Amino acid sequence: MSVRDRARTTCWAALLALLLALFTVPQSASAASLTQVTGFGSNPGNLSMYAYVPDNLPPGAPVVVAMHGCTQSASDYYSHSGWPKYADAYGFALVFPQTSSANNLKSCFNWFQPQDYTRGQGEALSVKQMVDYTKAQYGSDPSRVYVTGLSAGGAMTSVMLADYPDVFAGGSIDSGIPVGCATDLSSGLTCMNNAVSKTPQQWGDLVRSRSGGWTGPWPRVAVWHGSGDATVTPANATESRDQWTNVWGLSQTPSSTSTLPGGTAQASYNDANGKPAVETFTVSGMAHGLAVSPGSGTDQCGTTGTYYLNYICSSYYAAKFWGLDRSGGGEDSLPAPGGLTVTGTTDTSVALSWGAVDGAASYQVYRGGTKVGSTASTSYSDTGLASGTAYSYTVAALDASDRAGASSAAVTATTTGHQPQCFTASNYNHVAAGRAHQSLGNVYANGSNQSIGLYNTFVTHTLKETSAGYFVIADSGCSA
């Protein structure tokens, strides 16, 4: 080839590269990031909410709540745990609650304080309000909400699963403690250092007593612990296993065992359909922390750091245990029921009907994102409601393995009778007006018994009377 031909070839190659650069659309980077959310509720536990929502997340996606350990933060857990990788890959929203030194000197969740671990109160209610906000804001699937956490966050995971089995479909307790082990700081330290031995029945009763009368189905629970943990004794993992297998009515003898990477021993405890209801993961030699496994493989995630230890990607196996690796239900997922309709209302009830779904074994009915009942038919009557109150409903079909499909479009029904009223006043004046009562210097709303703080004239709240003599906190907004 002559010099002139080589020059001509080089010129054409350069021109082609220029045209490709001009007309090729670049791949845009993800705009999703960890973002603080305010105004998610009355927030009685004084927590902060952070969220990570992948770009173009469709309605009906799952939600995972991830809680940090002592001395950590939402940002720290987001950066090290590996959960954002699977939120992007499988399509779900992430919620990161955060506490602070104002709540606890070491920024631990107060899993051992009655005012924070009781259903409808304190930090537990704040986390539940974050879930409610996420479901409303992003149209998340109320039947696929999960919770996980490390250390104090793991102990708080136990609390959330016991307090709100009507909200959470599953959980993963990492280096945590069974619910009901402690009632104050002193007993909490005993649980951490020595564990507390109870029978499976006693542990199970502690869950059932906190659940608001829930009778099932119960959350599917994974328990992770390092055998070399000197901060939270590994015996707590056995007690957590006993607690949740008893709740499910299962033996403490595993249905199967296997060996995973990082010297991890897995044991599964299957339900009557042969599906794991409880799983334990014991990481040989691991100290106190969350198991991560940096790398680009599907089963690798996270980065190492203080309390983030290089053994195995626990977040991947938790997501897999919950079925999130099916990217929103997989090929087996049932479609959403169509034609959800309000067929009647009374002062205290709402009647619903919807179209049948092929392959459905039963249906779950949700009020305001919380499951209120199951039925094998295509109709349901929700009773015991407040009069003159608007309620939002969705329905999801369940297959023979109790796996929920997509949720229906929501419908709103308003019961007849009492019209709600809103009252904003100091706690002292709420008590004086008969909207609340005080006990030992604290004030509680009449009817709901929600805690609204100290008995004085300086603390102000808005209370909503949803039915005669029944008041709830409505600080985040009250329409009546």
Closest CA to 319 of 295, 301, 294: 301
Check: pTM over 0.75? Answer yes or no. no
Q: Inform me whether the pLDDT recorded for 307 exceeds 60.
A: yes
* Single-letter amino acid, residue 104: N
Cα 371 from Cα 394, distance rounded (Å): 9
CATH placement of domain 341-414 = 2.60.40.10
In the chain, what are the domain boundaries? 35-326, 341-414, 421-473
Q: Inform me whether the pLDDT recorded for 406 exceeds 80.
A: no
pLDDT value for 66: 98
The model's pLDDT over 49-97, given as tens digits with 9 standing for 90+, comes to 999 999 988 888 999 999 999 999 999 999 999 999 999 999 999 999 9
**Contact, 212 vs 195, CB < 8 A?**
no
Task: Say which residue, 22 or 411, is predicted with more confidence.
Answer: 411
151 is catalytic: yes
pLDDT value for 417: 81
pLDDT value for 369: 66
Same fold flag, 35-326 and 341-414:
no
DSSP string, 79-131: HHS-HHHHHHHHT-EEEEEE--TTT-TT----TT-HHHHSTTSHHHHHHHHHH
* Single-letter amino acid, residue 186: S
The model's pLDDT over 235-265, given as tens digits with 9 standing for 90+, comes to 999 999 999 999 999 999 999 999 999 999 9
Cα 94 from Cα 51, distance rounded (Å): 6
Class of CATH domain 35-326: alpha beta
Annotated catalytic residue within 143, 151, 314, 467? 151
Task: Say which residue, 48 or 399, is predicted with more confidence.
Answer: 48
Mean pLDDT, the chain, integer: 89
pLDDT value for 468: 78
Highest mean pLDDT, choosing among 223-227, 358-362, 439-443: 223-227
